[in-house]
Structure 1
Amino acid sequence: MKTENTVWHPQQITKQQRAQQKGQRPCLLWYTGLSGSGKSTIANAVDDLLFERGYHSYLLDGDNVRHGLNGDLSFTDQDRVENIRRISEVGKLFVDAGLIVSTAFISPFASDRALAAEKIGEAEFIEVFIDTPIEVCEQRDPKGLYKKARAGEIKHFTGIDSDYDVPANPAIHVKTAEADIKQCAEQVLSFLAERGFISSTKAV
């Protein structure tokens, strides 16, 4: 909790200077979708392409963050809100460092995604909806979570006994049932190039 003795200490090097040094515009790619939709897979593919092309990026994966920073949180609605609040703060730091940062979280509540967008800033927050039908997600079930949720072994599971607010107007709408991983990743890269976050002509 902040106190009256906590004062923000300004940095001498600005976000703009860090971004200019890296030859890119910083932003946060916020991947949202059901479990098994392909968020982490596509986010990793995008991260690989950015790295190959000489850009400076980092991926904050939901499961990985819950092993450390958010290891004390459960999957209740209240803890999901706190999970997103924390990652928004971390994401903002990465953006301030001039990076193109990706977050792969279910982030089921539209209100929380809106708060994240407000924290990062609308100009640098890019909502990426990984739109995959729940039937397809269940067929994939890479971690066996749907099976456990259907059996009642997991509570508060998004899409089963916890709601998911479908993004109303995502910046990027990716339909994984209609395209392969490479096509989905290239869709994200094309958006970044079109909006000037990366160069459309930068060589590998």
Structure 2
Amino acid sequence: MKTSTLWLTGLSGSGKTTVSIALADQLANSNLCTYIIDGDILRSGLCKDLGFSLDDRKENIRRAAEVAKILNDAGIVVICALISPLDEDRRIAKSIIGEHNFFEIYLSTPLSVCEKRDVKGLYKKARAGLIENFTGISSPYEAPQTPWISIDTSDKNIDEITSSIINKLNAQ
């Protein structure tokens, strides 16, 4: 497998972080150097100056893509776990990273399932108006029209999900 960026997109609660960790483990077992760029971690450091407006989200995604490109250039497979709600922003990330190194993975888990998985109570707070600009509730999420792969995580276990992705990668 060539050095690339696996860009996981989907609603909060769709499984992006869980899938990214499992993917990193499987790729490491194949002696590939990997790094996970997780949205929550980015916002605690590199992007802590950003809020959740659409402009701030665009900048958050741009920064993540720039870091992913640098890591790809160093020979590291990057797994980005970011909501990245707008198609335009994902296209910008793809142009930064490079079309042949960018693999968009859409975790198409339905909103109702994401809400049931919400251990932090964010959806409940967003529906009560306590959180502004919450993706899927008060801020838009544009599902990818032509993702590299689309997986609904609501009816699959983590091994099935990661196997689907790894098998598709190996077929490249």
TM-score (norm: length of structure 1)? 0.82
Once the two structures are superposed, the pairs formed by residues 1-204 of structure 1 within 5 Å of their partners are 24-195=1-172
**Matched AA of 1:94:** L
Counterparts of 2:66 and 2:30 in 1: how far apart (Å)? Answer: 27
- Structure 2 unmatched runs, 5+: none
**Matched AA of 2:152:** K
- Misfit runs of 4+, over 6 Å: none
Counterparts of 2:45 and 2:167 in 1: how far apart (Å)? Answer: 33
**Deviation digits for residues 12-58 of structure 1, max 9, x if unmatched?**
xxxxxxxxxxxx41000000000000011111110011112211111
SS in 2 for 1:167: coil
**Deviation digits for residues 158-198 of structure 1, max 9, x if unmatched?**
00010001100100111112211111011111111111xxx
SS in 2 for 1:173: strand
- Structure 1 unmatched runs, 5+: 1-23, 196-204
Counterparts of 1:64 and 1:142 in 2: how far apart (Å)? Answer: 18
Deviation at 1:142, TM superposition (A): 2.3
SS in 2 for 1:40: helix
**Matched AA of 2:81:** A
**Deviation digits for residues 121-173 of structure 1, max 9, x if unmatched?**
11110000001000000011122110111111100000001000110010011
Q: Tell me whether 67-76 or 170-179 shows the greater mean CA deviation.
A: 170-179
SS in 2 for 1:73: coil
SS in 2 for 1:123: helix
Count of equivalent residues: 172
Structure whose residues are more often helix by fraction? 2
Counterparts of 2:119 and 2:34 in 1: how far apart (Å)? Answer: 26
Counterparts of 1:101 and 1:190 in 2: how far apart (Å)? Answer: 17
Structure showing greater Rg: 1
Counterparts of 1:182 and 1:28 in 2: how far apart (Å)? Answer: 20
RMSD of the TM alignment (CA)?
Answer: 0.8
Identity of aligned residues (%): 47
